[in-house]
Amino acid sequence: MARIGENTVNWIYMASSQLNPPQRFLFGPGPSQVDPRVYAAMAKPIVGHLDPYFFQINMEAREVLKRLYGTANDFTLAISATGSGGMETCVANFVEPGAKFAVLANGFFADRMAEMGKRQGGAVVRFDKAWGESYSDAEAREFILREKPQVVGFVHAETSTGVFQSPKAICAAAREVGALVIADCVTSLGAMPIELDAAGIDIAYSCSQKGLSCPPGLSPITVSPRAMAWLKARVSPTPTWYFDLKLLAEYFDGAHRYHHTAPISMFYALREALSTIEDEGIEQRFERHRSNHLAFVAAAEALGLEMNVAAPADRLWTLNTVKVPAGVDDLKVRQYLMAKHGIEIGGGFGPLAGKIFRIGLMGVLSTEPDVLFLLSAFEEALRENGYVPPSAPGAGALAAQRVYSSLVPA
């Protein structure tokens, strides 16, 4: 007689045969392609959310997350939430009602952070810049010293625009006025250096589904000892129960007091994704993303396209934003790529709707062969939809190959 477990496994195999998602190449702003090793890890048998094995997996993941963030913070862990949940966790715990919350707002996700601050009762002050622009050291410093907030928020890697924001001047000015700093690292963690401790960032959050090549569902968060001391001394109650970091600390650390039922399979996925990063080497991974970004930019310029972010130093390696050429319908280009090649890229929204393509080169698909495949299909889609590049067919891929050749060590 078959055991119940055997019957259950057979039923799962039969049921799974009814699910047949289409093959996609995820070159959009996220989620990114998932590593096959991660899918395999998610198929492993689950344990309970208070099982010692779960906490072992969790601790192993935390150590790698520290290295990716560039921090020694003890409180570095993934919470059961998407990146937006990570944002809400950080804002809810560190922006008290009536506290001045200064937000450097130059994109959609900075706007979301400011809105969350308002909903927590914070006194939000904004420094607005056009979507696609970054803040100079002098601008950031003048704003923070003038406002003297209790908390400063900014986006390290703005997914809506492709802008990278250097944190050092922001953090230095915040320290002068005694403010805590919250950084959105959703599109940088795992693919670009953050150097959190060196920069002086107090609190940061990210997600599992971009630079980590993992499915969505977890949000890696890190909190400095300075910020944890502030949180422990907070008098007003944190207005959210599920995202209360003091309660989460009691679950993940110490006595492992029950808080919620953690998504065990997602933690398996995160640990395996981090294992692939360790196998590759963190610095090598960063360099891989940088190289593919440089190759993509060279290709775009060879095709006569213009990057949305003007200064090369302000561009994300993970998310390339390209201006849509005059007379081209961005939706038709994206639909062509999906229908003909199974390629997903993103469009702009807000003030950039219809004006940019958002093309992610993150994790598994940030490789030379995949970038060349994308470039060939992208040029084809542009030509089929009315754009005539000022160069011969294939010029984009050739420009990218020249970059790759120049980056190969002698």
Q: pLDDT tens, 27-74?
A: 999 999 999 999 999 999 999 999 999 999 999 999 999 999 999 999
Geometric angle at alpha carbon 374, from 369 and 378, rounded to 5°: 150
- How far is residue 34 from each of residues 26, 229, 279, 346, 363, measured CA to CA in Å? 9, 37, 16, 18, 8
181 vs 332: CA distance, rounded Å: 41
Structure confidence at residue 10 (pLDDT): 45
Interval 385-405: pLDDT, tens: 999 999 999 999 999 999 999
Q: Which burial class, exposed, middle or buried, applies to 275 when counting CB atoms under 10 A from its CB (0-12, 13-18, 19+)?
A: middle
Q: Single out the residue of 51, 42, 37, 36 nearest to residue 265, CA to CA.
A: 42
Q: What is the pLDDT of residue 254?
A: 77
CATH class of 282-407: alpha beta
Q: What is the mean pLDDT of residues 292-313?
A: 98
- Alpha-carbon distance 285 to 279, whole Å? 10
Mean pLDDT of all residues in 89-110: 98
Residue 4 has pLDDT above 80, yes or no: no
pLDDT band at 174 (very low <50, low <70, confident <90, very high): very high
pLDDT at 155 over 90: yes
What single-letter DSSP state applies at residue 315? Answer: B
Do 344 and 377 contact (CB within 8 A), yes or no? no
Residues paired with residue 158 on neighbouring β-strands, in sequence order: 163
| Residue 16 pLDDT | 56
Quickly state the pLDDT bin for 5 (edges 50, 70, 90). very low
Mean of pLDDT values over 184-193: 98
Question: What is the average pLDDT value for the chain, to the nearest integer?
Answer: 95
Q: What integer pLDDT is reported at residue 12 of this predicted model?
A: 46
Residue 311 has pLDDT above 60, yes or no: yes
Structure tokens at 85: 């949940």
Q: What is the mean pLDDT of residues 76-103?
A: 98
Domain ranges of the chain: 36-277, 282-407
DSSP string, 263-289: -HHHHHHHHHHHHHHHHH-HHHHHHHH
Tens of pLDDT, residue by residue over 342-380, are 999 999 999 999 999 999 999 999 999 999 999 999 999
Least confident piece of the model among 9-13, 124-128, 191-195: 9-13
Q: How far apart are the first and last CA of the chain?
A: 65
pLDDT digits (tens, 9 = 90+) for 211-262: 999 999 999 999 999 999 999 999 999 999 999 999 999 999 978 999 999 9
Residue 17 pLDDT level (bands cut at 50, 70, 90):
low
- Across the range 128-134, mean pLDDT stands at 97
Residue among 220, 97, 88, 201 at smallest CA distance from 152: 201
pLDDT the model gives residue 19: 85
Q: Answer yes or no: CATH 3.40.640.10 is held by domain 36-277.
A: yes
Q: CA–CA separation, 371 vs 368, rounded Å?
A: 5
